Chains A and B, each alone.
Chain A
Amino acid sequence: MRLSYGIMDRKKILAYKPELFHKTDDLLIFPSEDFNSWHSGILEYIDGLYQINSKIMEKGEFVDTMDLNLATGVISNIKFEIDGLFNSKEVSGEYYLSKVDDKYKKRRKSLYGIYMQKIDRTAPIKMVITNKIRYKHLIEIIRYSEQQFDQKYKKRSNHTINKKKQTKISQLL
């Protein structure tokens, strides 16, 4: 497999062996320490499976259902590890959450009070256009055009009034 190590440098990665990749390749990037520990963890589980097998071979006994249950338990652990590679969230079952902890007792505040306006303002993502909404939209356009027409008319009328005033003043002078 083609792989190369690299170092992060200002939001870019300097690859040690960049000649292995084509221009059009899609790349996956892992932190090397975490990836190595993941790899060795899986190998350790597999080693456990071999130990179960060797124990049976040493005794010279037949395989029981208990041995199979042990083996499937180890393999389910391997599956958890493999699934966890692309999950950013850690598995919740592994961590114990005590009820005595202060964090658990704290009442969580809802953010609605602070960001009320922002939350209310967001429009629904999928809007079904019905006849009623279409009618409302039309009326909004008409009202907007009316407003603009009124403003222009007022401006014009003001302009003409000013002109008349000016002419009167000039006549008086």
Chain B
Amino acid sequence: MRVSRGVPCGRIVLPYNPELFNEHEEVIIFTREEFKNRYNSVMDFVRYIFKVDGYLKTGKDFLLLGYWSDIMEIVKLIELNINLIFDRKPIQTCLDVYLYGTITDHVDVVGESESKVPAKLRTSIYL
């Protein structure tokens, strides 16, 4: 998939390689640390299932009945981790900056002087 890293700069995000994306294409922006946490946890669970599979295939098939519930539990955990990507709530387990309080949408308070600015100028402020 097309991925690029970036840096926030006020309202704008500056991508390191913008040539990957088309003009006026919608993009999703994540913070790298949080995404890394989710990605690594999913990969760890998948690796664990492969390990269990390898262990059972060394002539220990009779343990399968016990391990099946374990595998299904991990599948549930993978689903939870993948659903957390689109979850807006702060993640308490990773001890982020957002330990206290929830993320709220920013409410812009428009000043008086801004209402007098003509429409053409307003676009050129952040371009």
Contacts and interface: CB of A to CB of B under 8 A. Distances in A.
A76 B103 CA distance: 36
B64 A68 contact: yes
A2 interface: yes
B56 interface: yes
B3 A85 contact: yes
A27 B13 contact: yes
A1 interface: yes
B78 A4 contact: no
Interface residues of B, number: 62
Contacts, number: 204
Nearest to B61: A65
Given A7-B25, A65-B61, A75-B49, A29 B85 contact: no
A46 interface: yes
Interface of A: 1-15, 17-23, 25-35, 38-39, 42-43, 46, 49-50, 53, 62-65, 67-68, 71-72, 75-76, 78-79, 82, 84-86, 88
